[in-house]
Structure 1
């Protein structure tokens, strides 16, 4: 089995949305934008990604209680495929660590 680990720094663009599943499991969802300059094959290019982030379980409230739109965060976790309401596949970052960045 190979590792699935992603670390992404970005700006929270949508405030966190808290919910509880019918089984009583807490979830928090929010969206971050990442922008950076990357070098690829000796050329510099702009990189942009908008990523949905999900935090599940007991840690969801403690990891996300201070999140507001406009702050920068470093999120570490794993990516997983979800489906949008219209059936399109999307990648979602399941956060295991969230760090506020000044």
Structure 2
């Protein structure tokens, strides 16, 4: 099965860094996307705010240079994150981040 997403947008809010007990570096941030897409021959405004998680030393070397407002392209896979209140949130786990 395929699970791949690529999206462009702007870094929104501050990036939060943490290190797991096993020593893996994680960063969590949001990407805000705006575009106009064609749907059924009509223009449609597309908007989303995507929660992104980047794990590992290599990808976090790129993340450490990002600040709110920077335009990026993020590629990776989607998964659910369970929240404390029992609900879940769709999260993009970044495999590549590129400043554009």
Q: Which TM class, normalised by the smaller chain length?
A: over 0.9
* CA RMSD after TM alignment: 1.1
1:88 aligned residue: 87
Three-state SS of the structure 1 residue aligned to 2:60 is helix
How many equivalent residue pairs? 100
**Cα pair 2:11 2:68 within 8 Å, conserved:** yes
Q: How does 1:60-99 map to 2 (within 5 A)?
A: 60-99=59-98
1:23 aligned residue: 22
Aligned mates of 1:61, 1:47 — CA distance in 2:
28
* TM-score normalised by the chain length of structure 2: 0.93
Unaligned runs of 5+ in 2: none
1:61: Cα distance to partner?
A: 2.3
Three-state SS of the structure 1 residue aligned to 2:62 is helix
* TM-score normalised by the chain length of structure 1: 0.92
Instruction: String of CA shifts for 1:56-92, please: whole Å, max 9, x gaps.
Output: 1122421201100011100001111112232222110
1:43 aligned residue: 42
Aligned mates of 1:32, 1:25 — CA distance in 2:
22
Aligned mates of 2:46, 2:58 — CA distance in 1:
30
Aligned mates of 1:61, 1:7 — CA distance in 2:
18
Unaligned runs of 5+ in 1: none
**Cα pair 2:59 2:95 within 8 Å, conserved:** no
